[in-house]
Amino acid sequence: MTKAIVVLIWFCIGGVWIGLFQAYGIAGFAIMLGAYILVKHLRKKGEIWNKD
C-alpha cells in the first residue's frame, strides 16, 4: 500500500471518530478507543494486515 492511501484512510478514520464523538459524546469516544485497541491487538498477532 502506498503512503498516500494510508494517509487517506487515516483521514477517513479521523472523520468517523470526530463524528461519533459529536453524536455520542463519551460513549462514541469509548467505542472508537475500544475498536482501536482491538485492531492494535489483532495486528500484533498478525491476523490483520502487517505494517508496511
pLDDT digits 0-9 by tens, 10-47: 888 888 777 777 777 778 778 778 888 888 888 777 66
Taking the model in full, what pTM does it have?
A: 0.45
Cell of 27: 460513549
Burial class (CB in 10 A: 0-12, 13-18, 19+), 28: middle
Residue 19 · residue 31 · CB < 8 Å: no
Outline where the chain has alpha helix (H). Answer: 3-24, 26-45
